[in-house]
């Protein structure tokens, strides 16, 4: 049942060794490994390596390795926050991601793969693009112009340059309410949620930037429009691929971008499904707390996703860097990591059977306290 008091973390000191976070960089390397394996007997089927690993092997290993509920103590937190290693592991994603995209564009231009190879490349690159949005998400929560531009570079392959605007100034304000396009409602299938969140988030990001620029006395079509800056990077990236490899690179770029965006939105679908911030006596929503996000401390999937699955702490403390995110005992707990739940979300009857009873139980059987739209 939902707790009426703020959630509290489990204070068990000790964190994984720094090197474990390098596991995340295996994701943008998977397309490169696929290309190498495609030279052998696997042929074009090798391009399906990334989906097989991330949706097949990772859930199994997640189950085997289990959860790690430990949190850094106060003494450890100061050292972790000041350690540049963790930011470096984030930034290292960018050259690997761009290299994978360039390699795939070269393949479609020079090796004329069949439909099996094409679909495998789109899925593989799309998964990397979805991971890139997660990297952009982490960098976008850091202060400074350099971090802002690095976030846009991470978002450019998915054509999701508006994400930082909507996520930071929209989603974090409206999370777990019917007004938030990125918070899924109880009984809402992923396939109904996807167009609502794609269009709603885009509309919200544009409105937020228009309002900000208007307050500053600037037109919406201004070079300081952060949405336009992000979209321009995607346009330049697409133009560079076309210039280097021909028009055949454009459908690959667009298809993998859409798959990457839909992967990110599948994660959004999972993170707040059915959860609702209650209104106080004045009609205002209560402050966002750890019980307004689904949480998981599965070891492997958190290493791969820079602890995105410790989402409860992220929304309770948005500026906390990924290496400091904590496990909360009384936040709602997911039955598995994202690698297992994203495919489950694609199958509405399976998803509803898995999650609806958990949502309702979290609210003590009271459906009126759930986010039902």
Q: What is the pLDDT of residues 57-102, one digit of tens each?
A: 999 999 999 999 989 887 788 888 889 999 999 999 999 999 999 9
Q: Is residue 222 in a domain? A: no
The answer as to whether 48 is a domain residue is yes
Taking CA atoms, 295 is separated from 187, 211, 267, 314, 330, in Å, by 20, 33, 12, 10, 10
Q: pTM for the full model?
A: 0.93
Q: Are 339 and 301 in contact (CB under 8 A)?
A: yes
pLDDT at 78: 84
> Cα separation of 122 and 338, whole Å?
20
For the cut 60, the answer to whether the pLDDT of residue 11 exceeds it is no
Average pLDDT over residues 118-133: 98
For the cut 60, the answer to whether the pLDDT of residue 293 exceeds it is: yes
Q: How many CA atoms, within 13 angstroms, populate the side-chain half-sphere of residue 123?
A: 20
**What pLDDT is stored for residue 6 in this prediction?**
42
Q: Which residues contact 192 (CB under 8 A, 6 or more apart)?
A: none
Assigned token pair, 37: 């394996």
Considering its fold, how many domains does the chain have in total? 1
Tell whether the model's pLDDT for residue 268 goes beyond 80: yes
3-state helix, strand, coil in the chain (%, to 5): 65, 0, 35
Residue 86 belongs to some domain of the structure: yes
Question: If we measure between CA atoms, which residue out of 6, 4, 50, 1 comes closest to residue 256?
Answer: 50
Longest dimension (CA), the chain: 67
> Are 187 and 352 in contact, with CB atoms under 8 Å apart?
yes
The predicted pLDDT at position 5 comes to 36
On the question of pLDDT at 242 being above 80, the answer is yes
Using CA atoms, how far apart are residues 202 and 325, in angstroms rounded to an integer? Answer: 28
Tokens 């509290």 belong to residue: 8
Two tokens at 188? 């809402």
User: How many C-alpha atoms does 237 have within 13 Å on its Cβ side?
Assistant: 26
- Does residue 12 carry a pLDDT above 60? no
pLDDT score, position 323: 93
Buried b (16+ CB within 10 A) or exposed e, 210-236: bebbeeeeeeeeeeebbbbbbbebbee
Q: Tell me, what's the pLDDT at 204?
A: 97
List all residues 6 or more positions away from 257 whose beta carbon is below 8 Å from its beta carbon.
126, 129, 157, 158, 159, 160, 234
Judged by DSSP in three states, 203 sits in: helix
- 294 and 273 in contact (C-beta within 8 Å)? yes
Q: What pLDDT, on the 0 to 100 scale, is given for residue 16? A: 65
216 lies in a domain? Answer: no
The count of other CB atoms within 10 Å of the CB of residue 252 is: 21
What's residue 335's pLDDT?
96
% the chain with pLDDT above 90: 87
Q: What one-character DSSP code corresponds to residue 367? A: G
**Residue 121 is assigned to a structural domain of this protein:** yes
292 pLDDT exceeds 50?
Answer: yes
Flag whether 209 is in a domain.
Answer: no
Is residue 46 domain-resident?
yes
Distance CA 170, CA 31 (A): 33
Coil, strand, or helix at residue 279? strand
Is 351 within 8 Å of 344 (Cβ atoms)?
yes
More confident site: 5 or 356: 356
The answer to whether position 11 is within a domain reads no
User: 139-198 pLDDT, tens per residue?
Assistant: 999 999 999 999 999 999 999 999 999 999 999 999 999 999 999 999 999 999 999 999
Looking at residues 314-321, what average pLDDT do you find?
91
Residue 8 pLDDT greater than 70, yes or no: no
What is the per-residue pLDDT for 73? 82
The mean pLDDT value of the chain amounts to 93
DSSP state letters, 13-79? -----GGGGGGGGHHHHHHHHHHHHTTTTTGGGGGGHHHHIIIIIHHHHHHHH-B------HHHHHH
Q: Residue 77: its pLDDT value, please?
A: 85
Residue-wise pLDDT for 320-371, tens only, equals 999 999 998 889 999 999 999 999 999 999 999 999 999 999 999 999 999 9
Residues 6+ apart with CB under 8 A from 197: 181, 182, 265, 268, 269
Which of 320, 306, 298 is closest to 20 using CA atoms? 306
Domain encompassing residue 306:
18-200+231-369
């Amino acid at each position: 049942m939902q707790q009426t008091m703020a959630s509290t973390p489990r204070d068990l000191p000790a964190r994984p060794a720094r090197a474990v976070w390098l596991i995340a960089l295996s994701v943008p390397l998977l397309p490169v490994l696929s290309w190498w394996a495609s030279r052998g007997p696997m042929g074009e089927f090798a391009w399906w390596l990334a989906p097989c690993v991330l949706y097949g092997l990772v859930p199994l290993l997640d189950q085997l390795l289990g959860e790690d509920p430990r949190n850094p103590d106060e003494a450890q937190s100061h050292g972790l926050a000041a350690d540049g290693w963790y930011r470096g592991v984030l930034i290292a994603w960018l050259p690997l991601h761009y290299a994978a995209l360039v390699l795939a564009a070269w393949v479609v231009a020079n090796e004329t793969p069949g439909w099996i190879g094409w679909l495998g490349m789109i899925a593989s690159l799309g998964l990397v693009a979805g991971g890139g949005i997660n990297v952009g998400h982490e960098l976008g929560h850091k202060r400074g112009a350099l971090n802002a531009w690095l976030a846009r570079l991470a978002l450019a392959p998915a054509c999701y340059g508006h994400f930082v605007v909507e996520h930071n100034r929209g989603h974090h304000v409206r999370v777990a309410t019917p007004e938030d396009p990125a918070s899924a409602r109880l009984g809402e299938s992923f396939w109904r949620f996807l167009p609502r969140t794609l269009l709603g988030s885009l509309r919200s990001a544009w409105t937020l930037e228009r309002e900000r620029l208007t307050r500053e006395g600037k037109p919406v079509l201004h070079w300081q429009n952060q949405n336009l800056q992000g979209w321009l990077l995607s346009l330049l990236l697409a133009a560079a691929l076309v210039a280097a490899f021909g028009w055949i690179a454009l459908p690959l770029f667009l298809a993998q971008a859409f798959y990457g965006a839909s992967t990110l939105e599948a994660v959004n679908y999972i993170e707040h499904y059915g959860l609702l911030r209650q209104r106080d006596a004045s009609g205002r929503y209560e402050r966002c707390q750890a019980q307004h996000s689904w949480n998981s401390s599965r070891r492997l999937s958190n290493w791969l996703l820079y602890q995105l699955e410790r989402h409860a702490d992220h929304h309770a403390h948005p500026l906390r860097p990924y290496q400091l995110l904590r496990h909360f005992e009384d936040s709602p707990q997911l039955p598995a990591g994202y690698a297992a739940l994203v495919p489950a979300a694609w199958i509405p009857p399976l998803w509803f059977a898995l999650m609806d009873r958990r949502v309702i139980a979290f609210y003590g059987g009271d459906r009126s306290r759930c986010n039902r739209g």
